[in-house]
Amino acid sequence: MMIRPRHLLLSTLLALPLCCLSVHAQEAPAPGLQQRMTSDEFKAAGLDKLSPQELQSLDQWLSAHPKVTTKVVTATGKPVFYPEKASRSRIDAHIVGHFDGWGGSTEFKLDNGQVWRQADSGSTSCPSRENPWVKIKPMMLGNWLMYVQDCNDSIHVLREQ
**pLDDT over threshold 60, residue 82:** no
Distance CA 98, CA 82 (A): 27
Quickly state the pLDDT bin for 72 (edges 50, 70, 90). Answer: low
Asked if 98 and 128 count as a contact pair (C-beta separation under 8 A), the reply is: yes
pTM over 0.85: no
- Of all residues in the chain, what percent carry a pLDDT higher than 90? 27
CA 89, chain centre distance (Å)? 15
**pLDDT over threshold 90, residue 92:** yes
Distance CA 120, CA 123 (A): 8
**19-23, 118-122, 135-139: range with lowest mean pLDDT:** 19-23
Quickly state the pLDDT bin for 85 (edges 50, 70, 90). Answer: low
* Residue 20, pLDDT score: 52
DSSP string computed for 63-130 = HH--------B-TTSPBPSS-TTS----EEEEBSSEEEEEESS-EEEBTTS-EEEE-SS-EEEEEEEE
* Residue 24, pLDDT score: 43
- Residue spans of the domains in the chain: they are 32-68, 91-159
The mean pLDDT of the chain is 78
Quickly state the pLDDT bin for 39 (edges 50, 70, 90). Answer: confident
Asked if 160 and 107 count as a contact pair (C-beta separation under 8 A), the reply is: yes
* Residue 140, pLDDT score: 81
Distance CA 14, CA 101 (A): 26
Question: What's the residue count for the chain?
Answer: 161
- pLDDT single digits (tens) 42-69: 888 888 888 989 888 888 887 776 655 5
